[in-house]
Structure 1
């Protein structure tokens, strides 16, 4: 299988760098083909702007979605965007690895999503009608592929528990797992979260490798998160609200998991 790792940490000699090296070695030892998009090493351009479109009319106002659509349809995207899209087409699985900074991914990785998920590639796909509202949330160009987050944080696991001060980790990662991975069609696996990164010794590092290795070994076998698919009857269309008889009494993120 082909695995793309999108990695965001500014220091290769960090814990994240060691985890990334281990991930690549484990996947290759299992016979998989691996590519790594090391965003800091690539000096990845994070902002989505008019420079992402080749041969555009500089006198016309920049429109993020419409310019993205035109560029994608006409082969006018910036070359760095096209290269990353080709990697996603090649990949059977995507791993996003990053430290949790201010309750989300680093800005450089958010910029990767914003620029690579072009109109017609990551969104704006499929028909919009009274019964089908685009190919998204369980459908899309990434259908049949798998995805997983590998994330580190200095906070304690209890800080991210259901009653923890930071909020539940599943809620914090929902916008990434549901909004950036499930949206274009990935089957999303449970995240691998490493807490209290400042308390890492040799024994704990090896235990981390063992736990992560098991997750990597199960990349194609573990059950994905049971997010509800948009166009399969759970949602009223075009309102896109969950049907009243489903998840009775639940609201918020948890209601969108079957």
Structure 2
């Protein structure tokens, strides 16, 4: 299978960098083809702006969505965006690997998402009607592919527990897993998180690699998070709220996952 690893850390000798190298070796040992987008090494341009459309006319009003759609449809996207979109089309699974900085991904990875997920590619696809509100949240360009987060965090695991001060890790990562990954169609696997990353000695590193190796060995067998599909009947359209009889009297991120969601 084909695996794309999108890696965001400025120091190759970091724990994150070492785990990236381990992951690539393990995946290749398992017979997978692997590509790595090392964003810092690539000097990835973070900001979405008019330069992303090579046909942009100076002096005209820049509209991020409209310009993105125009460039995508007419083949005038900048070459770096096209290259990453081609990698996503090639991949059967995508791993986003990053340190948890200020409760989210590093800015360079957020910039990769903003630019590569062009209008017409990552969003803005599908019909909008009384019964179907675009191809998203379980549908879209990347449907049929798997995705997983590999995250290193400085805090203790208890800090991200259900009663931890940082909030449950599934809630912290929800905007990335449900928004960035599930929105364009990925089947999203439970994340792999390494805690107290700055407190890693040789023994802990060996244990971390063993645990990561087990996850990578099951990359194509692990059941995805059962997020509810937007257009499958659970949500009212166009309000896009859960039907009142579903998870009645509940709220929060957890209601958007259905433990017994039927398979397609």
Q: How much has 1:107 moved relative to structure 2? A: 0.0
Listed as ranges, the gaps of 5+ residues in structure 2 are 259-264
Inter-partner Cα distance in structure 2 for 1:121 and 1:130: 23
Tell me which moved more, 32-41 or 156-165: 156-165
TM superposition shift of 1:249: 2.2
Give distance in 2, aligned partners of 1:181 and 1:55. 29
SS at match of 1:60: coil
Local SS of the residue matching 1:17: helix
Q: Deviations over 1:202-249 (max 9, x none)?
A: 111111111100100111101000000000000000110001111122
Give the superposition deviation at 1:14: 0.7
CA distance in 1, matches of 2:13, 2:131: 51
Q: Distance in 2 between matches of 1:166 and 1:160?
A: 5
How many residues in Structure 1 have an aligned counterpart in Structure 2?
258
State the match for 1:160 in structure 2.
160
8 A contact 2:55–2:71 mirrored in 1:
no
The corresponding residue for 2:8 is 8
**RMSD between superposed Cα atoms in Å:** 0.5
Partner-residue secondary structure (3-state), 1:241: coil
TM-score (norm 2): 0.97
Which structure 2 residues correspond to residues 68-79 of structure 1 after superposition, within 5 A? 68-79=68-79
Structure 2: how far apart are the matches of 1:85 and 1:198? 33
* Structure 2 counterparts to residues 226-237 of structure 1, below 5 A: 226-237=226-237
Query: What do residues 26-54 of structure 1 show as CA deviations (whole Å, max 9, x unaligned)?
Result: 00000000000000000000000001000
Identify the residue that residue 257 of structure 2 maps to in structure 1: 257
Answering whether residue 231 of structure 2 is matched by residue 215 of structure 1, we say no
* Alpha-carbon distance between aligned partners in 2 of 1:250 and 1:203, rounded to the nearest angstrom: 43
Question: Take 1:62 and 1:223, find their aligned partners in 2: how far apart are those partners?
Answer: 42
What is the distance in 2 between the residues matched to 1:98 and 1:180? 14
The list of structure 1 runs, each at least 4 consecutive aligned residues, that deviate by more than 4 angstroms after superposition, is none
Shift of 1:199: 1.4
CA distance in 2, matches of 1:212, 1:109: 21
Cα distance between partner residues in 2 of 1:56 and 1:163? 50
Q: Using the alignment, how far apart are the partners of 1:220 and 1:113 within structure 2? A: 23
List runs of 5+ in structure 1 lacking aligned partners.
Answer: none
User: Aligned partners of 1:221, 1:64: CA distance in 2, in Å?
Assistant: 38
What is residue 23 of structure 1 aligned with on the other side? 23
CA offsets 1:81-134 (integer angstroms, 9 cap, x no match): 000000000000000000000000000000000000000000001101000000
Aligned residue in 2 for 1:205: 205
Provide the C-alpha distance between the structure 2 equivalents of 1:30 and 1:250, rounded to a whole number of angstroms: 42
